[in-house]
Amino acid sequence: MAELNTSAAGSGRKPTRKRASTRVDLTAMVDLAFLLITFFMLTTTLSKPKMMPIIMPDKNGDVVDGVSENRTLTVCLGKDNKALWYLGRAEQTILKPTVAGYGKNGVRKALLDARAYVKKNYGKTLMVIVKPADSSKYENLVNTIDELDITQVPAYAIADIAPHDIELLKQKGIY
C-alpha cells in the first residue's frame, strides 16, 4: 500500500507541539490510473494500412490494360518550380507543350482542362504520367501528386524522364 508521510524532522530543538503524521492512501489513485490506461488501450482503433491500387505489367512486359496516348497527359517536372505538360506523345502532341507553375492557375488548371478535353472528345478518364527531371525538387513531385489528388485524377504513374522530354525542357529553359 502506498502512503505519504509528513512529519517534522528532528532539527535538534525540542518540538513545542507534536504533529500527527498525515497518511494519504494512494492505492485507489494507482488503480484508477491503470483502469483508465487499459480502457483507452482497448477502445482505441489502430490505423489500418492503406494500399494504392496499381496496374502491374504482365510477365511479357506488356501492360495488361493499355491506355491510349490520346488520353495520356504527361507532366515533366523541371527546375525553378516549373512543370511542362502535354497531351499525347512527345513527338506528336494533341495539346501543345506548355510550361506551368504550381497552384490553382498552374498544374491544377492544366489537369482540369486536360480532363475536360479527354472526357469531351473520348468519353473516358484521363491518365497522367509524372516524369521528374534531375533538376527538379522532391517538393515538386509531392506538389504534383497533391494536385492529382485535388483534381481527383483516377490513374497516374511516376516514370523516368525520356530524352525527348529533356529536350522539351531545355527548349523551354527549365531543365
Contact (CB, 8 A) for 151 and 115: yes
Domains of the chain with CATH codes = 69-172 (3.30.420.40)
Tens digits of residue pLDDT in 58-76: 666 554 456 778 889 999 9
Check residue 38 and report its DSSP letter.
H
Give 7's pLDDT tier (boundaries 50, 70, 90): low
The gap between the terminal CA atoms of the chain, to the nearest Å, is: 73
> What is the full DSSP assignment across 73-100?
EEEEE-STT-EEEEEE-SSSEEEEEEEE
Tens digits of residue pLDDT in 74-133: 999 998 889 999 998 888 888 888 898 887 888 999 999 999 998 999 888 889 999 999
C-alpha cell at 129: 504520367
Q: Which long-range contacts (CB under 8 A, 24 or more apart) does 52-59 make?
A: 55/155
pLDDT of 4 reads 61
Contact (CB, 8 A) for 58 and 64: yes
Percent residues over pLDDT 90 in the chain = 22
pLDDT of 63 reads 47
Q: What share of the chain is helix, strand, coil (3-state, %, to 5)?
A: 35, 20, 45
